[in-house]
Structure 1
Amino acid sequence: MTEHGRHGTSTSAVRRYADLLWDAVLRGDEYTAVDVVVDALRDGVEAETVLLDLIGAVQQRVGAEWAANRISVAQEHAATAINERVIGTLALTRGRSAGDLGRITVACVDGEWHALPARLLTEVLRLRGFTVDYLGAQVPAAHLITHLHRTGPDAVALSSSIATRLPTAHATISACQAAGVPVIVGGPAFGTDGRYARLLGADAWAPDARTAAETLRGGLPAPANPHAQPMDDLPHLSDQEYTLVTRNAPTLVATVTEKLRERVPAMAGYDDEQVLRTAEDVRHIVDFLAVALYTGDPDLFGDFLDWTAEVLTARSVPASVLAPTLELLGAELRDFSRAARLLRSAAAARAAIDHGAAPASPPTPGADDAPLHRTGRPA
């Protein structure tokens, strides 16, 4: 018996086309990628399935392959660009829908460059009968609010992939609600279970585009607390630790990077580029520390460090460098009770892992030997 997908298309056919699309984007072959999507539609694969189970699945694979160091940042960027063009082709082939289910504004949080999930949601909503204003990547809150006053949508769908954007997301959610427009949020930044969506007072959260479309079809109620302020949701912010760590981040990064030279002997031979990249990666750690202070959730910081260790290991860089970095940060922030406690716990956890881990294998020929290499997600 043939297994079938959501709309009767065989799962094997969907997988076959997904594999063909993956092969095309990996080779940077835009024309073949377009042909794959067109062929899938002609073969009876629903447009929504093409969007989410072909294009969306391939994009998720791109991220996983980058993290595992099996594709480069350049390949990741090229694949994303091709997927964007493929979505555009699909949109042109299906034509314009009536859009009688209501008007939705879809946007990415300011500072969020990962726009493809929002674009996928946009096309799914259009397929389902919504009128959608797609505003794209990193939309400043002030411009978003101006747009809401001008167009009067039924809801805003806000997307973010990186947790460091949560403070900005919080301000944007509050601003939209103050304008009388409810907000549904989605993306990895809000947690796999939507915990940060609830923490920041969003009106709804969806783990994927299909759920978001179904939720919006039912309609979102008017914001319950349109005049809420960040301190109302997060009273621990009164200690000012998040604000002070964020404000002093450049100094923290410079100091820790310099002191790492004493803790990591290999840094004595680094050129300017290697030192610069190390400082960039220390900045990622400081940024995730700051957002953990903002949310009051130490697991956010711990999960980031675990992910970072996996990325470092995939690049043949010893993850043991994380522990001294955390210790140095802790020393600089010893007067910040929440930050110091979080850093002590994280450093102890990393040291325990390092102590029990097998010796790291030597770097592969040509591997970058900076102590922290590409801890941030691909842009």
Structure 2
Amino acid sequence: MRELTPLADYQQALANRNRTQATGVVTQLLTDGVDPVTVLTDVIATSQREVGMRWQRAEWTVADEHAATAISVAATGAVADFVSAIPLRGRSVLVACAEREFHELPAMIIACALRAHGWDTTVLGAATSPMRLSQHLVDHGHDAVAISCSVLGALPTTRRFIEAATAAGVPTLVGGPAFGYDDVRARALGATAWASSAHAAVTAMEGLPTVSGVLPEISPAASAEQAQLDLHHRRIVESLRERWSLTRDSSQNTMFANLTRDTLNQALHALSAALLTGDPRPIAETAWWISDVLQARDADPASVAELAGLLADTLADYPLARELVRTHFTIESS
């Protein structure tokens, strides 16, 4: 029988829900001298992306995904214990997730990576309020703030995080899937720097200025429309649910009903993100994601095109969002 690689061994541990095996893999790698940040990125983070894809492909349930994530949290804790012996270099960073961001593991990975390079890290955790962030900066003082954002719905609150840090004169580093594959959304929100990975975060943090710069202004019209979308989000989702054939047909299937509700939430979050950042790519990316998720569950592929039409019709009072749907909510443009 072929011997498993550490990555395959770790992923097998996740599939088997074996926390001891998973933490054993990372502990052995660290003992063998593998760079802690490499363990975080190439084993834990890589495996976590695969966990998400298994759910997307309908191979795993939400419960399976949560169980695997809990194991990865424990494995990251094992790396954190290992790097705690590394001497501090006298600089501190506050790591947090903005409100509506409940994926804490990426923030833990970034904090652990920075600690491995001598940063004194404090993790506030998931769904932190801007008020709590501001108070922590006042009470303790930090050289930088690192903000993790995995979901598009948390980009507006991430902007408020950046505003709070900037008001305190503290530079910000942002990262996570919600920012995409370049720094366009990060710059639009006013972040000092953006990082694509834990390795990149370590490098970017070393190059941060000592104080934050001036925040860029967001288009008043786009900002106002985004705020109204946010305010009426629930009502719009319910209106779409009443009209979309996929949600009407799945009303007796609780699991599928929850899935379709999530797709509607994601569609509106993508519009909100595009309005706030001036970057339309989240809309096409979300349309593709919805199509992929639904097709994996044998839903009618035409339902995505139907949803695009319903969105444009429902958003008649939101001209900017409506035009974004008409132009970008297509599978072809993703």
Q: Same fold (TM over 0.5)?
A: yes
Once structures 1 and 2 are overlaid, which stretch shifts more, 73-82 or 51-60?
51-60
Q: 2:171 is matched with which residue: 163, 173, 182?
A: 182
1:70 correspondence with 2:56: no
Alpha-carbon contact 1:326-1:346 (below 8 Å) kept: no
1:311 maps to amino acid? V
Q: Does 1:165 align with 2:150?
A: no
1:97-139 CA distance string (max 9 Å, x none): 3211411111111111111111111111111111111112111
Of residues 192, 214, 218, the one that matches 2:203 is 214
2:312, 2:326 within 8 Å by CA — same for their partners in 1? yes
Q: Distance in 1 between matches of 2:113 and 2:258?
A: 41
Q: Which stretch shows the higher mean deviation, 145-154 or 318-327?
A: 318-327
Match of 1:247 in 2: 231
The equivalent of 2:311 in structure 1 is 329
C-alpha contact (below 8 Å) 1:97/1:129 kept by paired residues: yes
SS in 2 for 1:161: coil
- The yes-or-no answer on 1:260 pairing with 2:244 is yes
Give a deviation string over 1:39-95, Cα, whole Å, max 9, x none.
222333232322222212211221222222222211111111011111222332444
Higher alpha-carbon deviation: 39-48 or 158-167: 39-48
Taking the aligned partners of 1:300 and 1:180, their CA distance within structure 2 comes to 30
In the superposition, the TM-score normalised over structure 1's length comes to: 0.80
CA deviations on 1:223-245 (whole Å, 9 max, x unpaired) are: 122xx4xxx52124367322222
Unpaired runs of at least 5, structure 2 = none
Give the CA deviation at 1:188: 1.2
Gap change, CA 1:20 and 1:298, over 3 Å in 2: same
Equivalent position SS for 2:244: helix
The separation in 2 between residues aligned to 1:84 and 1:158, in whole angstroms, is 18
Change (3 A) 1:82 1:269: closer
Alignment partner of 1:306 is 2:295: no
1:287 to 269, 274, 293: 269
Q: Aligned AA for 1:302?
A: A
Question: What is the alpha-carbon distance in structure 1 between the residues aligned to residue 200 and residue 141 of structure 2?
Answer: 23
Kept after mapping to 1: 8 A contact 2:241/2:248: no
* Counterpart in the other structure of 2:73: 84
**SS at the partner of 1:251?**
helix
Question: Does 2:331 match 1:342?
Answer: no
Contact 1:155 1:184 in 2 (8 A): yes
Distance 1:320 1:93 in 2: 51
Matched, 1:203 2:184: no
Q: CA RMSD in A?
A: 2.4
Q: Specify whether residues 239 and 203 from structure 1 end up closer, same or farther in structure 2 by C-alpha distance, changes over 3 A only.
A: closer
Distance of aligned partners of 1:307 and 1:98 in 2 relative to their CA distance in 1, 3 Å threshold: same
Alpha-carbon shift at residue 146 of structure 1 (Å): 0.5
Note if contact 2:84-2:115 (Cα within 8 Å) is conserved in structure 1: no
* Residues 1:122 and 2:106 are matched in the alignment: no
Tell me which amino acid in the other structure corresponds to 2:248. Answer: M
In terms of mean alpha carbon deviation, does 184-193 or 242-251 score higher? 242-251
2:111 and 2:178 map into 1 onto residues whose CA distance is 19
Query: How far has the Cα of 1:248 moved from its partner?
Result: 2.0
Evaluate the alpha carbon distance shift between residue 19 and residue 339 of structure 1 in structure 2; reply closer, same or farther with a 3 A threshold.
Answer: same
Contact 2:222 2:275 in 1 (8 A): no
Alpha-carbon distance between aligned partners in 1 of 2:179 and 2:167, rounded to the nearest angstrom: 21
Size of the aligned set, in residue pairs, is 330
Paired residues of 2:55 and 2:62 also in contact (CA < 8 A)? yes
Structure 1 residue 277, shift from structure 2 partner: 5.0
Q: Provide the identity percentage.
A: 32
Q: d(CA) in 2 for partners of 1:158 and 1:111?
A: 13
Q: Contact 2:144–2:172 at 8 Å: present in 1 too?
A: yes
Inter-partner Cα distance in structure 2 for 1:86 and 1:122: 14
Once the two structures are TM-superposed, the CA of residue 298 in structure 1 deviates from its matched residue by: 2.4
Change (3 A) 1:268 1:195: closer
Kindly tell me: are residues 31 and 296 of structure 1, through their superposed partners in 2, closer, same or farther at Cα, counting changes over 3 Å? Answer: same
Contact 1:236-1:296 at 8 Å conserved across structures: no
Match for 2:292: what amino acid?
A: E
The corresponding residue for 2:252 is 271
- For residue 135 of structure 1, give the secondary structure of its aligned residue in structure 2: strand
Contact 1:155 / 1:220 at 8 angstroms: preserved in 2?
no
What are the equivalent positions in structure 2 for 1:348-359 lying under 5 Å apart?
349=330
Any stretches of 5+ residues in structure 1 without a counterpart? 1-12, 354-379
Distance 1:20 1:259 in 2: 46
Paired AA for residue 271 in structure 1: Q
Provide the C-alpha distance between the structure 2 equivalents of 1:67 and 1:319, rounded to a whole number of angstroms: 15
Match of 1:96 in 2: 85
Query: TM-score, normalising length from structure 2?
Result: 0.90
C-alpha distance in 2, partners of 1:152/1:65? 41
